[in-house]
Amino acid sequence: MSTQEQNTTAEIVFLRHGRALGVREAGVASDAERPLSPSGEQDVLAAAARLRDTGFAPDLVLHSPFARAARTAELAASLFPGVPMRPSAALSDGPASAIVDLVETAGVRRLLVVGHQPLLGAVAGFCAGGAPLDLSASGYARLKAGAAPGEFTLEELYEPPEKRP
């Protein structure tokens, strides 16, 4: 793929996974297995609905393989039938440069990236040319391509309206 083909992304949304249950509360053996809480699932669906209602429809969903992020990606994708999903360990383990590479080589116009803080906020801030962004659970940063290749501007920083337990 040529550099020009790789830089076709016009819009990126960095979505933090929804609120998750704790390891003990969920009865799982590791952090990677933590599931979303019921309110976390509701918040993810609300965030994805907001994206859809404002005209965003991803061509690809990249997500961390951790259970809470994979479920977040699955729930979000359910509002965009037929969108392909692809896990990437870089979205749970880093480094940030590997995530930037994923974004730069996705080869799609609209990309939804689901992962974890603080890594996701750091990459979103870097892509927008600024400081790391503080993404709430089920919150997202929506970036649009600027005039120059690889340049993005922060279009929206979404935070769920309520902080429920």
CB-CB contact of 134 with 115 (8 Å): no
| 3-state class percentages of the chain: helix first, strand second, coil last, to nearest 5 | 35, 20, 45
At 150 the pLDDT is 73
pLDDT for res 146: 82
Dist CA 135 CA 121 (whole Å): 6
pTM: 0.92
Provide the pLDDT confidence category of residue 104 given band limits of 50, 70 and 90.
Answer: confident
Confidence of residue 9 (pLDDT cuts 50, 70, 90): confident
Report the interhelical angle of 67-77 vs 38-53 (nearest 10°): 40
For the stretch 16-68, pLDDT in tens is 999 999 999 999 999 999 999 999 999 999 999 999 999 999 999 999 999 99
Q: How far apart, in whole angstroms, are the C-alpha atoms of residue 99 and residue 84? A: 18
Q: How far apart are CA 71 and CA 129, in angstroms?
A: 29
Of residues 104, 74, 107, the one with CA closest to residue 5: 107
Asked whether the beta carbons of 62 and 102 are under 8 A apart, the reply is: yes
Local confidence band at 96 (pLDDT 50, 70, 90 cut-offs): very high
Q: In the CATH scheme, what architecture does the domain 3-158 have?
A: 3-Layer(aba) Sandwich (3.40)
d(CA 48, CA 58): 11
pLDDT tier, 3 (very low <50, low <70, confident <90, very high otherwise): very low
Domain residue spans in the chain?
3-158
pLDDT at position 117, please? 96
Residues in the chain: 165
Q: Is the pLDDT of residue 5 over 60?
A: no
Average of per-residue pLDDT values in the chain: 91
Tokens 């590479």, residue located: 101
Share of the chain above pLDDT 90, in %: 84
Residue 91 confidence (pLDDT) above 60:
yes
Amino acid identity at 104: E
